[in-house]
Structures are given as structure tokens and as C-alpha cells.
Amino acid sequence: MTKAEILAKAAREKRTLLTEIESKELLKAARIPVVETKLATSKAEAVEMASKLGYPVVMKIVSPDVVHKSDAGGVRLSVMNATQAGKAYTEILANIKKHYPKAKIVGITVQKMAKQGIEVIIGMTKDAQFGPVIMFGLGGILVEVLKDVSFRIVPMTKRDASEMITEIKGFPILKGYRGQDPADIPFLEDLIIKVSEFVDKNPEIKELDLNPVFAYKDGAIAVDARIILEPAK
């Protein structure tokens, strides 16, 4: 779907939350790297998509009523074969039915399982005074518990992006801690700039979350994405 089609569909359905797959389509069109993600609406289709993508795959619920997919049992990692893909399809739907009996189910995504990297987060929220503000941090408990994040106002310079990365307390982890691979810092700087340009060009976006992005020695890729639109006028 094109951007116009995605926005029209959301408006028609009176929702401001774009699904993961819609969010990833908009990001991909802006050349922001996201994991290849397909939407299946039946078990047979999910299994076929999985074999086309190549195992292992990840499968996730797609529902406008489920924001935190893993909390509701809506994410299956390391799906290794057709039998497991079929089983994951059934189990994800059962889990969601249990947690959110009234949830509208769009389908289940089948996506490539990205190799583990250092988990980082890139986000955007709008400040009443400053407008779009970009956030950067390390993923997982570092952001949830320690709030180890940095912020810059859009539009951003390359220098802003560079400082955002170096000023978080967890920066040593990105430089490669105790023999671990370092993250590709120039690539992350570029990614932050791209996200800042993307939200600048798309003022209908109210909030954005790439959580997590896997950062590698070479490159980085978003494995989950969430976009919230401004409410309709």
C-alpha cells in the first residue's frame, strides 16, 4: 500500500494507531531499514510466506487493539519449520483471544528473524512548545528502568545525532564492551537523521517508535515499528 492508501484506510476505520506492517511500509518507503514483513490472513498463507522468506521466522499478531504484542502472547520468535509456523499461528490467536476477547484481528505477520544485535530505540514525540523531538537510547531494561535516553529537536544536524549517541550512559556498550561487537555508529547517526527527516516530512505523524532497532558491526535494522497519527481534524 502507498502512504495515501494507508492514511485513508486508517481514517476510514477511525484509528490513529498504524499497525506494525503499515508502519514498516511507510518507513521502508523512506529508506529506513526494516525487517522484511508480510501479512498473512490464514494459517496456510502464513506457512507459505514463512517458507518463501526462509526459516527461522518471527510471527506476530496484527491488531489495532493490541499495542504491546509480546505482553499478550502475540509474538513468536525462532519459528523453525512449517509445523511450528502452523502451531504458532493458532497459539498467537488463542493468546490474543484470552487477553483481548474483543480485539479486532487483522492477521498475523510473518517476518524474517533478524540476527541478534545491540538493541537500541529511536523514537519521536511531539512537544507542545518545540514540536517533534527525537529520542535515542539503548533497548530493554536500560530504557525502561534507567531511562538512559537522549533527546534532540527536529530538524537535526549530523552533530546532534552524533552527540545523542555519545551522551547516553550506555555508550560504552555501543563501542563494544568486553570483546562484544561494537555498533556501527556512523550508520546509527545516519539512521537518526533519516528518522528526523521522515517525521519532518510527515507532519500527520504524532508519535513514532522503532523499538527495537538491532545495531550491528555493519548496519542496523528496525525489527518493530509503531506509528501513531495525529487525530483527524
In the complex, the residues that contact ligand ADP under the rule CB under 6 A are 35, 58, 60, 68-70, 75, 77, 111-114, 212, 223-224
Query: Per the structure block, which three cell numbers stand in for 163?
Result: 552527540
Which listed residue (211, 213, 221, 229) binds Mg ion by CB under 5 A? Answer: 211
Backbone angles phi, psi at 160, to 5 degrees: -55, -45
Q: How many CB atoms lie within 10 A of CB 233?
A: 3
Rule CB under 5 A: say whether 111 interacts with Mg ion.
no
Task: Please tell me the count of residues contacting Mg ion according to CB under 5 A.
Answer: 2
Task: Determine, following the binding rule CB under 5 A, whether residue 224 of this chain makes contact with Mg ion.
Answer: yes
Site string for Mg ion, 170-209 (x = CB under 5 A): ----------------------------------------
CA triplet 125, 126, 132: central angle to 5 degrees?
90
Q: How many H helices and E strands in the chain?
A: 8, 11
Please answer whether residues 214 and 115 qualify as being in contact, where contact means their C-beta atoms are separated by less than 8 angstroms.
yes
Residues in the chain: 233
> Which lies closer to ligand ADP via its Cβ, residue 103 or residue 153?
103
Residue among 58, 64, 55 nearest 92 (CA): 58
| Nearest distance from C-beta of residue 130 to ligand ADP, angstroms | 27
- Applying CB under 5 A, does 22 fall inside the site for Mg ion? no
Q: Residue 189 CB, nearest distance to Mg ion (Å)?
A: 22
Q: Smallest gap, in angstroms, from Cβ of residue 160 to Mg ion?
A: 25
Closest contact distance (angstroms) between CB of 140 and ligand ADP is 8
Q: Tell the smallest beta-carbon distance from residue 157 to ligand ADP (Å).
A: 29
- Identity of the residue, 75 or 154, whose beta carbon is nearer to ligand ADP in the bound complex: 75
Query: CB-based contacts of 222: which residues, under 8 Å, 6+ apart?
Result: 24, 27, 32, 33, 34, 35, 122, 210, 212, 213
Residues of this chain that bind Mg ion (CB under 5 A): 211, 224
